[in-house]
């Protein structure tokens, strides 16, 4: 399963679901984002039955990035029950992202 690429509409709809949602705010030109990308894809496969994992391109979805105060990328936010539960700025490695997910299951 490939991580979902959210736009404003799909993002809002997904937040209303019953699973936690992990969102990677990224840009194509961002070096650390390119390193994090394959890890996000791996995690979307590993946790496909437990968590919705997706990506928001901050260049294409500026409004979403602004709404959630994303100032640096990559920024990964976990939403639970439609509300922000945790945020990591920078790339903490696969283990860092796994810990985030596990803490909110």
Q: Among all residues, which ones are annotated catalytic?
A: 30, 33
Show contacts of 28-31: CB within 8 Å, 24+ apart.
28/57, 28/59, 30/73, 30/74
CA 55 to CA 29: how far, in whole Å?
Answer: 15
What does DSSP say about strands 21-26 and 52-57: parallel, antiparallel, or unpaired? parallel
Among the listed residues 1, 89, 103, 96, the one whose alpha carbon sits nearest the alpha carbon of residue 49? 1
Cis omega (within 30 of 0) on the bond before 37? no
């Amino acid at each position: 399963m490939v991580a979902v690429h959210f736009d404003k509409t799909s993002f809002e709809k997904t937040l209303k679901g019953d699973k936690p949602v992990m969102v990677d705010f990224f840009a194509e030109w961002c070096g650390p984002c390119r390193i994090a990308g394959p890890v996000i894809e791996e995690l979307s496969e590993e946790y496909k039955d437990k968590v919705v994992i997706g990506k928001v391109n901050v260049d294409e979805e500026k409004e979403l990035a602004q709404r959630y105060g994303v100032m640096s990328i990559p920024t990964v936010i976990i939403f639970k029950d439609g509300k922000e539960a945790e945020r990591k700025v920078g790339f903490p490695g696969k283990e860092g992202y796994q810990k985030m997910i596990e803490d909110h299951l």
